[in-house]
Every structure is written in structure tokens, then in C-alpha cells.
Structure 1
Amino acid sequence: MRVLVVKRDKLGDLLLTTPVLAHVKSVRPDIELHLLANDYNAWVAIDHPALTRTWIYPRVKHDGRVRIGAALAHLPLVWNLRRAKFDWAIALGGDESHRAVKRAMATGAKRVVAYAQNPARYGPRLTDPLPPPVVGHETARMMALFAPLGIAAPARLPEPAYRCLPDAAALARAWLAERGLARDRYIVVGLGARRVNRQPTPEQVGRWARHFHDTWGLATILTWTPGTRDNPLYPGDDAAAEEVLAQGSPHVLPYRGTLRGVLGLIGSARVSVVPDSGLMHFAAASPGGVVGLFAHDPTQSVPASRWAPLGARAVQLEAKPAVSDLSDETIFAAVAPFATWSGFER
């Protein structure tokens, strides 16, 4: 049986797919699993042992601009996907995605599975529509899409799997060496969050960094999304980061490099303290683990539990109504087991 998984979301979303891939392959080793992902996120799972092949399509829209060449590149890709003659195509996501459904149907697979509120809008090519779930973690929601294939969810899914890429690890090693900082002797604190209420304040970061150093001898590496807050596509955190750095703390080291470098630093951190984001899920899958920061927003219908970090070394803190309302004591209590535990090898 040949199955194509269609995944067009962001990096963290694709990382949360890896437990599903691992379980499907473990219970049905006869299945030939393929992944269709874009040129931004495909690297997250490209070497996953459950996959026979990863198909990559270029994003037509990037940074608000249409790439004509990318649109033309879709034509031969669709042709080759149809020639592969998939038995199943699954629009793998925890909710309905019109674009993912249409992309799955375009592969010409014999049967197509997807969440759909109104299946009639897609026509007969959507052979196995399922009602969108209203509860459950994102990974469990994706797992449920394999029910039409006769594959049930396990009592407990495997944890997300991520192997730090060699170039990311090399970037981190070089950056740390330039500053005389050893691996495992720092905590990554992130500011990046689409909503301000999910961010720690500059004052909080300053107090946390001082405590991390004075109590455990750990430095703080500050990461953030570059740019301005009013960017509609990718709201940036430059202003908040500058407020942190203006405090002049010798224990806060700003990282202004690439995303790959951030992932490399997370991979060798004692622990990461970051808001709900893709980075949070990578940190949860790293040896050090994560303290994920959430904020309850009564205007949003999606509960924090849907995107909670998964893993043996993952902790979720939810504030009401903003992360700024979390007490320092709450943060320090959550970080303490990570900061004082040295039982893992790197």
C-alpha cells in the first residue's frame, strides 16, 4: 500500500507529525509512506526512517510575493505524483485546510482522507471526509486521520523526533566558542510569539537571567524574531529585545543569527524557556527540554492543550491573561529540575 501524507504547515507543525509517521510504520511496516511538503518545512522530516520518499514543492507565495517560477515548477511535480499511483493521500492536519485538501486530491490518489466541515464543496474526489475534531492534541487529531486505513491510535503516541542537523550544530558550536561558553551551561530564553500576551516582558527576562546565573551559574541566550511588531506576515520582536539588552546584563547574550543557529543552540542548551511557537516544539524534542509559555486568550477558541509541548522533558505553563502575569517563583520552580539535572549525555 502506497500512502502520501500532505503537510503544508510550518516547521513545528511538521515536527508534530513525526510521532504519527513512526506509529503508522510500526504497526503497518508494509505501508510505503511518502511525504509531500514545501521547500520551507520539508527538512524537518526528510530523513525520518518511516518515510520512503519526501516530495518537495516550492512555495508560490513567499514574504507576500508570488514566485512565478515556483508556480510553473508545480506542473511536473503534480504529473510525477499522479504517476506514482498512490492508494491513499491524507491531508494531515488537526483541522480542515482547504489548500491541503485540494493538493491531496490533485495527486490522483485512489482515496483521499481529510477533515472537512462541508465535504460537498470538494466533490467526489474527497472519498473519505471526516468531521473536524473539537478536542484533542494536534498530534492525536492527525493520528485519527488514519482510521479509514484501519490504523487505530495507540494508547500513547511516540514523542516527536528531531535530529539536530550537522550545519545547525556547527553554527552553535562556533558561536559558543567565540564567547567562551560551554555547551549545557546556558538557558535559551525566547521572545518570539505572534501575540504579545504570550511574550515575557523585558523586565521578566532580566530578572530570570539574573536568577539563572546567581542560582545555577547558567548564562542566558536571548533569541527573538527579527523585525517590527507591525509586520503582518511575521511580527518581529526587535523592540522588546532591545529593551532587554538595554538593561546591560552581563549574563544575557543575544543571538542574532539564523534559524538553523537557534536550533543548534537549543539542541545543546540546559533547557529552553520559550513561548508557544515552533521553536517550543523543537526544544521539547531536544535533550535539554523546554518550559513552554502559554497565555489564555478568551477571544481564541483554540485551547493551549492542543499545542502543548510533547516529551519527557517538556513543561507547559499557562498564564491568565498574559505571560507577564506569571510570577518569577513559578518560572524558577519550573526551570529548577532542568537546571539541576545533569543525567543526560550530549
Structure 2
Amino acid sequence: MKILVTKFRNLGDVLLSTPLFASLKAIYPDSELHVSVNDFCTQVVADNPHVDKVIPYSRGKKSEQTFWQRIRTEIEFYWQFKGQYDLVINLTEGDRGCIISALSGASRRMGYIKKPTLINRLARFDTAFNSQQRIPTVQKDLQFAEAIDSRKVIKKVTLGWRKDHEKMVDELLSRLGLNDGFVVVHPVSRWMYKCWDSAKVAQCIDHIQEKWQKLVLLTTSSDPEEIQMANEIASHCQQKPLQLPQPVNLQAYAYLTSKACMFFGIDSAPMHIAASTDTPVIALFGASEPNLWGPWDNEQGSNYRLMTGVQHNGIHCVISNENMELYFDGDRKLSRGMMAISLSQVISKLDNELEKLSNTRQIRDITNTVELTPGAI
């Protein structure tokens, strides 16, 4: 059996769809699962143990192609799916997934519908859900697996990595003098209005390093604007955080966060990556909805609400403000909700969570000592 899942969205969206991939393999263990995503998202699924083939979609640069070249490229992309699949699930409500579904020849077709259109009708979905449901992406996409066999649904978010990713990250961490127990701070996003105040982030970094004696690794993507903001944050710090000497890809970043004792940041793809590795997350939400995008707990899912205050969900914690109004401060777009989150509130929650981690480690060390002591009762 050949299955195709299409998801033409951003990094975090694709990552949060991975429980569906695992569920489909559990339901159809002998199947061949192909996943089609935007080309910049291929890293998210490249090493996923449940995916047999990744089919990237590239929009390309209009300046590099004539109109007719773009048309030909689009046709070639669509044509590769013609008559190839038994089951197609379209996780994007746009026309692209509907066209692929119509061409696939699949006997079973499932997908999202935002509004009825001619292309929607051509797709002939025999199982469809409303793409505008206000529920977390993981739960929304898992509806398709539940419609097939609810007994075999898997809810774990997965971003796989390889041994060469581990080797590279271990070497980088060794050069920085880092072992297990450090804190990853990722305070930036491609959507800069999601970011908190740089000076406050710096004070949190100083607090973690001075009070809790934990080294902080400040991370960012290779985007120049994000790097500039990270450098601005570091310039405010009394005790400079560590930074990677070179950028790493998403698979390596997943392994890196799995080595940390905690992740502190904002709503971003790295936040979802850290949560997927079962690293405790503290995240700030003032420009997006935690009830939709809060860090997913692999054990219990998500129970966040759109609210102002502190929420816990399994091992993760969200500090949110429901005022998502955007405004400009000079040329920088900001969120009133993010700016309304107080430093004292965040410091208090960092202290609570780091104390829990410290107590857990002490209990584990005592247990290990008892187990290793000859003749211990």
C-alpha cells in the first residue's frame, strides 16, 4: 500500500504533523509512506523513521524563471503523483494538495476543506475536516488517523537525527565545555514581533547562570536579523552566554536540545523541536495562541488555553498574555502581549522549574549511589 501525506506549511507545522506519520505506519505497518512538503521543511522529515520518501516542493525564484518555465515546473511537480497512491491525506487547505489528490488516483482521499470550490470538488475527499478548527495542530491532523483506526493513534512528535549529527554536536559542545545540564535559550523567531524585550532576556540569562550555576547556550538560526538580535541580547548580559561557533541544521539542533536540561524561549520552531525531545520547555506567548501552538507534551498532549498568566502542561510551562495587538516602536513591530510579560514573572517561573530539575537530579544521584554501593539495603 502506498500512502501520500501533503503538508505545505512552515517548519513547526510540519513537525507537529509527525504523530500522524507514526500513526499511519502503526495502522498500515507494511505500507510505503511518502510525504510532500515545502523544500525548506525537508529537514524536519528527512530522518523520520516512519517516512520512506520525502518529496519537496520548490516555489523557486520568479526572477530566475520565465512565466512558461514556472508553468512547466508546476506541471512536472504535479504529474509525478498521477496514479501512484492508494491513500492520500492533504493537510493543507489550499489548492495544491487538492490537485495532487485528484491526480493521485487514490481509492481513499482525505483532507481539509476551508470553503467549497471547484478544485475542492475535483479532489473528491471521502473524509474531510474543517481546517479552521481551533485545536492544536497535532490533534487536528490526528483526526485523519482516528477516522481510520482510533486504537492505533500515536501522539509523539518526532524529529529524527543521525549519528553524524550526534558526532558534530558533541564536538561543538566539547569545544564550548558543555556537558548535560546546560540551558538552551532561543529568544528569536523569523517573525520578530514574537520576541520579548532583549534586556529582559539578558537578565534572565544572567539569573540562570549566577543563581543556578548553569551554563546558558544562546541559539539562533543563520538569519542575519536573528543573529543581530541574539548579539544585542548577549551585549546586555553581565555574564556572556555561550554561542555555537557555527550554525547547525534542524536534525542536529534536535539532538542538541535533547542534551539540555531546559529550553527557554518563545513560540518558534526550535521550541517545538525541544519539546519533541522531551526537554522541559518554558515559553513566552504574547503574539500567538498557546491553545493552538503551545509546546506539545508527548505524554499528555496539550491542555493550554488562550489566557493571561502561567499554564503548565506536563513537563512544559507557558507564560502568556492574551493581548496580541501589534504596534510599531520606530521600525520594529512588537506585540503588546509580549511586552506586557514581566521580568519578575518569568524569573519566578525559571526558579520554580530549575529547582524542580535540581531536586530531581539530587534524587536520581542518591538512588544511583545506593544502587552502586556494595551491600546497600
TM-score (norm 2): 0.73
The 1:98/1:82 distance shift into structure 2, 3 A limit, reads: closer
- The aligned counterpart of 2:40 is 40
- The aligned counterpart of 2:329 is none
Moved more, 217-226 or 67-76: 67-76
C-alpha contact 2:113 2:130 (8 A) present in aligned 1: yes
- The aligned counterpart of 1:232 is none
- The aligned counterpart of 2:20 is 20
SS of the equivalent of 2:180 reads: coil
Q: Please give the alpha-carbon distance, in whole angstroms, between the structure 1 residues aligned to 2:10 and 2:48.
A: 17
Coordinate RMSD, CA, aligned = 3.3
SS of the equivalent of 1:288 reads: coil
C-alpha contact 2:4 2:36 (8 A) present in aligned 1: yes
Q: Please give the alpha-carbon distance, in whole angstroms, between the structure 2 residues aligned to 1:153 and 1:277.
A: 31
- The gaps in structure 2 that reach 5 residues or longer are 300-314, 323-336, 366-377
Q: Please give the alpha-carbon distance, in whole angstroms, between the structure 1 residues aligned to 2:78 and 2:122.
A: 16
Q: Please give the alpha-carbon distance, in whole angstroms, between the structure 2 residues aligned to 1:158 and 1:339.
A: 29
Q: Please give the alpha-carbon distance, in whole angstroms, between the structure 2 residues aligned to 1:262 and 1:73.
A: 32
- The aligned counterpart of 1:7 is 7
Post-superposition shift, 1:307? Answer: 1.3
- The aligned counterpart of 1:291 is 282
Letter in 1 for 2:295: P
The 1:79/1:251 distance shift into structure 2, 3 A limit, reads: same
- The aligned counterpart of 2:234 is 245
- The aligned counterpart of 1:329 is 348
1:168 and 2:157 equivalent?
Answer: no
The 1:256/1:204 distance shift into structure 2, 3 A limit, reads: farther
The 1:166/1:249 distance shift into structure 2, 3 A limit, reads: farther
Post-superposition shift, 1:218? Answer: 0.8
SS of the equivalent of 1:160 reads: coil
Post-superposition shift, 1:73? Answer: 6.0
What per-residue deviation string (whole Å, max 9, x for no partner) do you get for residues 21-64 of structure 1? 2223324435543222343323322343433x2142341236x8
Runs of 4+ in 1 over 6 A off after TM superposition: 67-71
Post-superposition shift, 1:338? Answer: 3.8
Letter in 2 for 1:237: E
The 1:75/1:335 distance shift into structure 2, 3 A limit, reads: farther
Post-superposition shift, 1:11? Answer: 2.4
- The aligned counterpart of 1:278 is 269
The 1:248/1:35 distance shift into structure 2, 3 A limit, reads: closer
- The aligned counterpart of 1:190 is 186
The 1:123/1:187 distance shift into structure 2, 3 A limit, reads: closer
The 1:192/1:104 distance shift into structure 2, 3 A limit, reads: farther
C-alpha contact 2:265 2:283 (8 A) present in aligned 1: yes
C-alpha contact 2:136 2:293 (8 A) present in aligned 1: yes
Q: Please give the alpha-carbon distance, in whole angstroms, between the structure 2 residues aligned to 1:136 and 1:34.
A: 25
TM-score (norm 1): 0.79
Q: Please give the alpha-carbon distance, in whole angstroms, between the structure 2 residues aligned to 1:46 and 1:40.
A: 11
C-alpha contact 1:34 1:54 (8 A) present in aligned 2: yes
- The aligned counterpart of 1:233 is none
Q: Please give the alpha-carbon distance, in whole angstroms, between the structure 2 residues aligned to 1:287 and 1:294.
A: 20
SS of the equivalent of 1:125 reads: helix
Q: Please give the alpha-carbon distance, in whole angstroms, between the structure 1 residues aligned to 2:58 and 2:42.
A: 11
- The aligned counterpart of 2:207 is 211
Q: Please give the alpha-carbon distance, in whole angstroms, between the structure 1 residues aligned to 2:70 and 2:352.
A: 49
Post-superposition shift, 1:284? Answer: 0.3
Letter in 2 for 1:35: V
Letter in 2 for 1:114: G
What per-residue deviation string (whole Å, max 9, x for no partner) do you get for residues 242-299 of structure 1? 32222353341233632425444323212111211111111001253322221156xx
SS of the equivalent of 2:53 reads: strand
1:310 and 2:310 equivalent?
Answer: no
Higher Cα radius of gyration: 2
- The aligned counterpart of 2:50 is 50
Q: Please give the alpha-carbon distance, in whole angstroms, between the structure 1 residues aligned to 2:317 and 2:143.
A: 25
C-alpha contact 1:276 1:292 (8 A) present in aligned 2: yes
What per-residue deviation string (whole Å, max 9, x for no partner) do you get for residues 155-198 of structure 1? x842212233334333322222222x222232111122244453
- The aligned counterpart of 2:86 is 87
Q: Please give the alpha-carbon distance, in whole angstroms, between the structure 2 residues aligned to 1:251 and 1:184.
A: 19
Q: Which of 93, 96, 99 is matched with 2:96 structurally? A: 99
Q: Please give the alpha-carbon distance, in whole angstroms, between the structure 2 residues aligned to 1:267 and 1:18.
A: 18
The 1:87/1:66 distance shift into structure 2, 3 A limit, reads: farther
Q: Percent identity?
A: 19
User: How many residues align structurally?
Assistant: 325
Q: Which of 102, 106, 112 is matched with 1:109 structurally? A: 106
C-alpha contact 2:188 2:229 (8 A) present in aligned 1: no
1:159 and 2:156 equivalent?
Answer: yes
Q: Please give the alpha-carbon distance, in whole angstroms, between the structure 2 residues aligned to 1:91 and 1:43.
A: 20
